Amino acid sequence: MTTEANQDSTICPEILKNDHETRESKVTCCSVCKPGSTLKNKTGGWRNFRPIYNYEKCTKCGICEIVCPDMSVKPREDGFFEYDYDYCKGCGICANECPEDAIGMILEEK
Ligand code: SF4
Ligand code: SF4
């Protein structure tokens, strides 16, 4: 019988490791993952710099949400935005593209 975990492992052994499966697999590379599996990996741990908002400068234009490659910028009910630090990799694109210079990048404390 083919389970969802087995299907994942044939495509991406790394996912099998993350799911704590016991079946042995030799991981030599991981180039293709099953579509829709990215939420299994909290990539925010890769981050060296953390974006922070200055809400006094923000005009709620939404550009930071559009340009984030990791969909880590989330709208708030008040029209401002916030970060999902579980997935933000700290690339700084949002800070570079903000027309109001309302996003700063600070060194991540680990
Ligand atoms: S890009 Fe800058 S001004 Fe626009 S919503 Fe984001 S933080 Fe605010
Ligand atoms: S630093 Fe990069 S990954 Fe994080 S919110 Fe900004 S654009 Fe997205």
pLDDT in tens, the chain (110 residues): 444 444 444 444 444 444 444 444 444 555 566 777 777 778 888 899 999 999 999 999 999 999 999 999 999 999 999 999 999 999 999 999 999 999 999 999 87
Does one domain contain both 76 and 98?
yes
Domain containing 25: what range? 1-30
Q: Whose CA is nearest to atom 4 of ligand 2?
A: 88
Residue in the block written with tokens 């570079």: 96
Does one domain contain both 43 and 92?
yes
> pTM for this one?
0.72
Residue 107 and residue 48: Cα distance in Å, rounded?
Answer: 6
Query: For 67-99, what is each residue's pLDDT tens digit?
Result: 999 999 999 999 999 999 999 999 999 999 999
CATH code of the domain containing 73? 3.30.70.20
How far apart are the CA of 72 and the centre of ligand 2, in A? 6
Helix (H, G, I), strand (E, B) or coil at 6: helix
DSSP assignment, residue 2? -
pLDDT at residue number 45: 87
Q: Which ligand 2 atom lies nearest to the CA of residue 50?
A: 1
Does one domain contain both 78 and 58?
yes
Q: Whose CA is nearest to atom 8 of ligand 1?
A: 58
Which residues lie with the beta carbon below 6 Å from any ligand 1 atom? 53, 58-64, 81, 98, 100, 102-103
- Spatial CB neighbours of 31, under 8 Å, sequence gap ≥ 6: none
Does one domain contain both 59 and 5?
no
The tally of domains found in the chain comes to 2
